[in-house]
Structure 1
Amino acid sequence: MEKAMTREAWSTTLVELAESRPEIVVLSADLMKATLASRFSDRFPDRSFNVGVAEQDLVGVAAGLALTGKIPVVATFAVFLLMRACEQVRTDVCYPKLNVKLIGTAGGFSFGLGGVTHATTEDLSIARTLPNMTVLAPADYAETCQAMRAAIDHPGPVYLRVGRSAEPVIYHSGCPFQIGRANVLRPGEDVSLLACGSMVFEALQAADILAGQGLTARVVDMHTLKPLDTSAVLSAAAESRAILTIEEHTVIGGLGSAVAETLAEAGVSVRFKRLGMADAFATEGNADYLRQVYGLHGEGIAREALALLEAT
């Protein structure tokens, strides 16, 4: 199985873009190497800024640079970016709608060995609540490259969640990407599996398992959580018997909540369940171990989908 790191994707793509975009600058808070922002700083040292372990200052400096016409790209662990510096992201970046791009690395279980202080399963919820923020959670290397390109071209604040460890490659030949438009990777009429980030691959695995039992599963890559592709959600509800959302994230406020809000406001009745972290902190372990613990793997998703269908 071919794998690649999404944190390599964003940094490699940014270096390519920066060759012809002198307004792009990169900032980090003593994590240039860990986030692979060092790919950029090695190539463009005069356009790279390391503020030290001071995440609030990191975001404030980025806001100031944006006001001068730069496109600041801020890279640090997601937990530090959207929790330690949440006020600055909200007030200094989102309120004036500045053109700052926020790269939250080590998202989900990808740095589970670091424990709850360094891994995060709440970042998408936080980012979704912030006015003017666009929220992206691409599925693999190729989609992260496309998401990085789209983020640079998109006016205003963007939060891009990437992992730390290598993840399976999904898009082998071409990767269509448009902010706010989901990708339907597989058709199906029995159940719709709506997933984001690393869970897209697991959803595809679950669809294969369900196919072995004579069931068809639609798999939708919901790479944009805000603005959500509501038409993709409503189509899934109209064309399948049940919807299961899957995310490496708390079920409170993330993809599952966004889908539930869409269905409720549209007055759509469909069997529905959110699969992700419960209202709890994750235990410590690598990504594969944690996915087994919390049922966020192909077999676990297939079991949940079967139970959902049996209840219809």
Structure 2
Amino acid sequence: MDTMRDRFAPVVSRLLDEDPRVAVVLAEIGKDPFEAAMRKHPDRVINVGIREQLLVGAGAGLALTGLRPVVHTFASFLVERPFEQIKLDFGHQGVGGVLVSAAASFDWPAGGFTHMSPADVALFDTLDDWTVHVPGHPDEAETLLRHAVAAGDDKVYVRLSVQSNAQALPVDGAGFLTVREGRGGVVIAVGPMLDEVLAATEGLDVTVLYATTVRPFDERTLRRAAGVGAAADVVVVEPYLAGTSTAAVNDALADVPHRVLGLGVGRRELRRYGRIEEHMAAHGLDAASLRGRISAFLGERTAVRPS
């Protein structure tokens, strides 16, 4: 199966053909798949070289001219390094664009900590009015990329990863999907965490929600799943910094008694490269670890459902 990033250049190249407002800004990384598009649209496919602050600033500048910029590089270079430019050039100037990252939290462990970005979504939470998509399958990435580019002049972040669920689901760029229903609590699986969550909760009496658009946060679906009016227990399993969405859950359930557990990438740096699977296990995000942590938090109410 191809990866989400494999889909990125072909999808955006077609959008360049279809929509004269679309422009692409690159910082050397990921330029090769755009060679044909560069020849076809030399004024709308721009490679600024290894200059990430310029990458974001140039994208915002194109937005000021009325174009719809798609800005791409690794998450650590797209969000963390030029964060001031995101805050000022897009936010302060009031323009929109589509920032598309790759490498996620630790997609390339051999690249070391400089190429890891588990805090990217948490950083966007410090800014106003950003939509954040976290697809869990290449088909979903294609759908959400098209949603993002077509979103008028909105500010959108699309987080691509080599990690993927086995099957795509019909995502709509807005709400959560209910994948499984139960009475002992709610588990929200974000993007590529769905398969691990489904394996971890197999047989448990819990509702599983699938989130690929995490900002704005789908409060309505969570409240319905939690059975608002009674006490609610919620677990959020995210492929980035643990606890990133706990405040969003607390806001959604502010009027009812509830508990929330945020599971994700820990703050401690893992200083051995290893493999993705080893990083997942070290952060307690593999199915076996998740089952223990979810069961311990939700307690007896998650007892195995009768067949």
1:197 to 191, 202, 212: 191
State yes or no: 1:256 paired with 2:246: yes
Specify the alignment match of 2:218 in structure 1.
229
Q: CA deviation at 1:45?
A: 4.4
Residue by residue over 1:247-305, the C-alpha shift from the partner in whole angstroms, topping out at 9 and shown as x without a partner, is: 121124x2233223433xx2222342111123323443321111111110222211112
**In the alignment, is the contact (CA less than 8 A) between 2:106 and 2:115 conserved in 1?**
no
- Note if 1:270 corresponds to 2:258: yes
The alpha-carbon distance between structure 1 residues 43 and 142, as it changes in their structure 2 partners (threshold 3 A), is: farther
Q: Which structure would you say has the larger RCO, counting Cα contacts within 8 Å and 6 or more residues apart?
A: 1
Q: Relative to structure 2, which stretch is displaced further, 225-234 or 40-49?
A: 40-49
- Pairing of 1:70-81 with structure 2 (within 5 A): 70-81=67-78
Asked if the contact 2:249–2:260 (Cα under 8 Å) also holds between the matched residues in 1, the reply is no
Structure 2 CA distance for partners of 1:33 and 1:186, relative to 1, 3 Å: farther
Contact 2:23 2:67 in 1 (8 A): yes
Deviation at 1:58, TM superposition (A): 0.9
CA 1:41/1:140 → structure 2, altered by over 3 Å: closer, same or farther? farther
Structure 1: runs of 5 or more not aligned: none
- CA offsets, 1:134-165, max 9 Å, x none? 111111111111110110111321111111x2
The CA distance in 2 between the partners of 1:274 and 1:311, in whole Å, is 19
Aligned match for 2:234, one of 240, 243, 259: 243
Report deviation, 1:241: 5.8
1:96-130 per-residue CA deviation (whole Å, 9 max, x = no partner) reads 23121101111122122212110110000001211
Pairwise CA RMSD of aligned residues? 2.3
SS of alignment partner, residue 117 of structure 1: helix
Superposition pairs for residues 89-100 of structure 1, below 5 Å? 89-100=86-97
| C-alpha distance in 1 between matches for 2:112 and 2:58 | 29
Give, in angstroms, the shift of residue 57 of structure 1. Answer: 0.8
**How many Å separate the matches in 1 of 2:296 and 2:40?**
52
> How far apart, CA to CA, are the structure 2 residues paired with 1:185 and 1:42?
44
- Aligned residues of 1:237 and 1:268 also touching (Cα < 8 A): no
SS at 1:135 equivalent? strand
What is the CA deviation profile of residues 37-82 of structure 1, one whole-angstrom value per residue up to 9, with x for unaligned ones?
Answer: 5575476444211101111111111111111111110001111111
Q: Which amino acid aligns with 1:234?
A: R
Task: Return 9-18 or 223-232, whichever deviates more.
Answer: 9-18
TM-score, normalised to structure 2, is 0.88
* CA distance in structure 2 between the aligned counterparts of 1:183 and 1:38, rounded to whole angstroms: 37
Q: 1:169: how far off?
A: 2.9
Structure 1 residues 159 and 39: alpha-carbon distance in aligned structure 2, compared to 1, 3 A threshold: farther
Q: How does 1:1-312 map to 2 (within 5 A)?
A: 3-33=1-31, 40-41=37-38, 44-154=41-151, 155-163=153-161, 165=162, 167-171=164-168, 175-179=170-174, 181-208=175-202, 211=203, 215-238=204-227, 242-252=233-243, 254-263=244-253, 266-283=254-271, 284-310=273-299
Any gaps of 5 or more consecutive residues in structure 2?
Answer: 302-307
Q: Match of 1:309, as an amino acid? A: L
Name the CA distance, whole Å, in 1 between partners of 2:265 and 2:246: 11
1-structure distance, mates of 2:248, 2:232? 19
The answer on whether the counterparts of 1:109 and 1:248 sit within 8 Å (CA) in structure 2 is no
Q: C-alpha distance in 1, partners of 2:173/2:287?
A: 27
CA distance 1:137–1:282, change in 2 (3 Å): farther
Contact 2:80–2:117 (8 Å) recurs in 1:
no
Bigger shift: 39-48 or 291-300?
Answer: 39-48
Give distance in 2, aligned partners of 1:42 and 1:192: 50
TM-score (norm 1): 0.87
Q: Which amino acid counterpart does residue 201 of structure 1 have in structure 2?
A: D
Identity of aligned residues (%): 28
Cα distance in 1 for residues equivalent to 2:76 and 2:164: 20
